Amino acid sequence: MILLTGASGFVGQAILAALEQRCSIRVALRNPDSVSPRSCLDVREAFIQPGQDWAGILEGISGIVHCAARVHVMREHAIDTLSEFRVVNVEGTLCLARQAAQSGVRRFVFISSIGVNGGETHGKPFTIDSEVAPHTPYAVSKSEAETELRRLASESGMEVVIVRPPLVYGPNAPGNFSSLMKWLTSGVPLPLGGVTRNKRSFVYLENLVDLIVTCIDHTAAANKTFLVSDDEDLSTAELLRRMGSALGRPARLLPVPPRLLRLGASLIGKPDIAQRLCGSLQVDISHTKDVLGWRPPFSVDEGLKRTAEAYLASRKVA
């Protein structure tokens, strides 16, 4: 039986749907009512925090997919944000992992973040050998959790697999992708036609899920870290054009130079927005493909098409 944490989240829901097709699933949630009840699902209440007793929940579990985490908070009120991230993403994760090792769990799959490597690339993609350089409190907490999980694996014999995705998109994706589709369907001109030289890696939700499911029992995955993407990098302008095509609404892009966009964002105190729109963040997944024999089952255009279809359908319902 597989234990899944974070089953009510954007990625967790998709993992749950995939796992239900192939094995017995137990999910651990703060709010068990956040997933619809079904006969094939064993739902338990638990919190990703220090001191949580996992004994009964881990009974009969052979593998864990740990997707739950404290993620980016748009309106952060904590004085020490790093400490808040550490409580859940480091201490809470290790509380579960240590008890899992003691209970004889064979494999622990940890969903991390490409932010562990940094927030931007400069002509050379991140690879499995790139240095660790987390740039946000969230990424720092994920990096620290990775380090402690590897130490636990070496001490206990429990296999740990780490997956680092970049931005994940798909049907009902929160955040930036949803906002971009909203702007494109509105027909409002966007000042991003000049952002043609940057390159960014993304990963379609079903591609990420396929890799995670592969990592649950693939022999070669044991105690390794994997980067994941759609294996095709796009400039911001190209992403918008292809997204507009998927939506059936040609992107209206104004050729504003990136330097002016960065200047404007700095003047309003939002330099991070310009970095995400104008900067590069590339991921080289050669190691993942070589070690696991894995390829993304969906292309970028297929992922964008499915994402756009879901978005348009949701607008009709609303």
**Helices 137-156 and 93-102: angle between axes, nearest 10 degrees:** 10
Same domain assignment for residues 39 and 126:
yes
Q: Is there a contact between 297 and 213 (Cβ–Cβ < 8 Å)?
A: no
Residue 74 has a pLDDT of 46
Cα(235)–Cα(280) distance, rounded to whole angstroms?
A: 8
pLDDT in tens, 244-272: 999 999 999 999 999 999 898 888 888 88
What is the four-CA torsion angle of 300, 306, 307, 308, rounded to 10 degrees?
A: 110
pLDDT in tens, 131-141: 999 999 999 99
What are the residue numbers of the active site?
138
- The residue-averaged pLDDT of 84-109 equals 97
Q: What is the 3-state secondary structure (H, E, C) of the chain?
A: CEEEECCCCHHHHHHHHHHCCCCCEEEEECCHHHCCCCCCEEEEECCCCCCCCCHHHHCCCCEEEECCCCCCCCCCCCCCHHHHHHHHHHHHHHHHHHHHHHCCCCEEEEECCHHHCCCCECCCCECCCCCCCCCCHHHHHHHHHHHHHHHHHHHHCCEEEEEECCEEECCCCCCHHHHHHHHHHHCCCECCCCCCCCCECEEEHHHHHHHHHHHHHCHHHCCCEEECCCCCCECHHHHHHHHHHHHCCCCCECCCCHHHHHHHHHHCCCHHHHHHHHCEECECCHHHHHHHCCCCCCCHHHHHHHHHHHHHHHHHHC
Same domain assignment for residues 105 and 185:
no
Residue with tokens 């094995």: 23
Same domain assignment for residues 190 and 154:
no
Given a cut of 80, whether residue 144 has pLDDT beyond it is: yes
Better-predicted residue by pLDDT, 78 or 99: 99
Given a cut of 80, whether residue 73 has pLDDT beyond it is: no
pLDDT in tens, 272-306: 888 888 999 999 999 999 999 999 999 999 999 99
Given a cut of 80, whether residue 33 has pLDDT beyond it is: no
Same domain assignment for residues 182 and 158:
no
Residue 40 has a pLDDT of 62
- The residue-averaged pLDDT of 229-242 equals 97
> Taking the model in full, what pTM does it have?
0.94
Which tokens in the block code for residue 309?
């279809």
On whether residue 206 sits in a domain, the answer given is no
Q: What average pLDDT does the chain have? A: 92
Neighbours of 242 (CB within 10 A): 17
Percent of the chain with pLDDT over 90: 79
Domain with 270, as residue range(s), is 176-197+234-281+310-317
For residue 167, the cross-strand partners are: 202
Compute φ and ψ for 204, nearest 5 degrees.
-70, 140
On whether residue 224 sits in a domain, the answer given is no
- The residue-averaged pLDDT of 50-74 equals 90
On whether residue 83 sits in a domain, the answer given is yes
On whether residue 35 sits in a domain, the answer given is yes
Cα(308)–Cα(157) distance, rounded to whole angstroms?
A: 44
Percent of the chain with pLDDT over 70: 96
Residue 281 has a pLDDT of 97
Given a cut of 80, whether residue 105 has pLDDT beyond it is: yes
Same domain assignment for residues 108 and 182:
no
Domain total of the chain: 2
On whether residue 243 sits in a domain, the answer given is yes
Quick one: pLDDT band at residue 172, thresholds 50, 70, 90? confident
Same domain assignment for residues 87 and 49:
yes
- CA 155 → CA 92, 99, 102, 147, 161, distances in Å? 19, 13, 11, 13, 15
pLDDT in tens, 205-224: 999 999 999 999 999 999 99
Same domain assignment for residues 6 and 155:
yes
Same domain assignment for residues 121 and 262:
no
- The residue-averaged pLDDT of 18-47 equals 82
On whether residue 136 sits in a domain, the answer given is yes
Pairing verdict, β 63-66 and 2-5: parallel
Neighbours of 265 (CB within 10 A): 18
- CA 19 → CA 24, 46, 124, 264, 292, distances in Å? 8, 20, 35, 46, 19
On whether residue 301 sits in a domain, the answer given is no
Same domain assignment for residues 157 and 42:
yes
Given a cut of 70, whether residue 76 has pLDDT beyond it is: no
- The residue-averaged pLDDT of 90-101 equals 98
Same domain assignment for residues 147 and 267:
no
- The residue-averaged pLDDT of 44-55 equals 94
Query: CATH no. for residue 41?
Result: 3.40.50.720
Same domain assignment for residues 189 and 105:
no
Same domain assignment for residues 104 and 9:
yes
Residues 6+ away with beta carbon under 8 Å from 101: 108, 152, 156, 157, 158
- The residue-averaged pLDDT of 28-57 equals 85
